[in-house]
Amino acid sequence: MKRAYRYRFYPTPEQADQLAKTFGCVRYVYNRALAERHRAWFQEQRRVTYVDTAKMLTGWKREPGTEWLAEVSNVALQQTLRHLQTAYVNFWQKRARYPTFKKKGKTTDSATYMVNAFSFRNGQITLAKQDGPLRIVWSRPLPEGAGPSQVTVSRNSRGQYHISILVEETITTLPVSANRVGVDAGITSLVTLSTGEKIANPKHEKADRARLARAQRELSRKARGSANRARARGRVARIHGRIADRRRDHLHKLSSRIIRENQTVVIEDLAVRNMVKNRALARVISDASWSELRRMLEYKAGWYGREVVAIDRFYPSSRTCSVCGSLVDTLPLDVRAWTCRGCGAVHDRDLNAARNILAAGLAVAACGDGVRPPRS
């Protein structure tokens, strides 16, 4: 199984200049190839393939005014053409939207190097046309004996550099467990488990909301194109980055724990994209990042031999009594506890939903009806 390990690295000024040049060339080639493919289809009804754009790239390097494309690694430029081809395939198969142009300062700068464009010796990585090895902070070791087959270097809006190293690794599955759990996503509690446990919502964005608002106000006062505006934009990006880092760390720990402790995990197939259209709840729903939690659960389940079942989003898990199966007509969001008229059981809204999600997931997993496929 191929697995990527991501690390922070600190380039020298010379390496940073070369990386900046590489990022700019990658962005230029991607945008120009996208424009050529777009024009060929809408004006000539002709489909341009990756091979066609690779031939175009050779000509672009010889054109007056774009000779600087030859100053960076050709592998990184070829890989961005492959990424564009993948974007088109995902669009044709209705997995993604139509490819869009990359804009400096709006998209993350990145470049991908294959094994013939970098060297890995004595725990050090040197990229093609780079002066010396990268100074990588090895926060965790690579698998024993693993050799990188591909590396991707990137620079985010905070000016931080990361390298993602792709290696072939054998992941040992976890021992089979008899535990099964239903997971109900919420706002007050990030998730409620059918075992009765509630995981509090850290609300990372709320903790930095005042600081973020102040930084955004300062940004709005700066003149466009000025150095002060660039510095203010960097301060906003750093606050957003800290929020995202804390959120990601918490979701990784939570998802790893759920997968480690349970053989089967049942979740709801939530339409988060539609739910955030509610202006009153959009901020807290986005901060909870339910979609990211589901993504982590699914790929970690594939790694460790676990199963994730997603039940239909229209299943009335909150309005169904988990004891007798009675269904109430309405249950507003502000009602956090209710009493079943059929059997008299008193339910906590979220815990009752988690138990119903588990029961429905186990039932439909047995017959296959109503199970949503993994998004991956």
Please identify every residue annotated as catalytic.
184, 268, 350
Token code pair at residue 216: 């955004």
| DSSP designation for 327 | B
In angstroms, the CA 322 to CA 302 distance is 30
Token code pair at residue 139: 């926060």
Q: Decide if 88 contacts 99 (C-beta within 8 A).
A: yes
DSSP string of 9-22, one letter each residue = E---HHHHHHHHHH
In angstroms, the CA 221 to CA 136 distance is 38
Which H or E run contains 121? strand 118-121
Q: In what order do the strands lie in the sheet with 161-168?
A: 109-114, 150-155, 161-168, 2-9, 136-137
Q: In what order do the strands lie in the sheet with 307-311?
A: 198-200, 189-193, 180-185, 264-268, 307-311
φ/ψ of residue 243, rounded to 5 = -60, -45
Contacts of 341 (CB under 8 A, 6+ apart): 326, 328
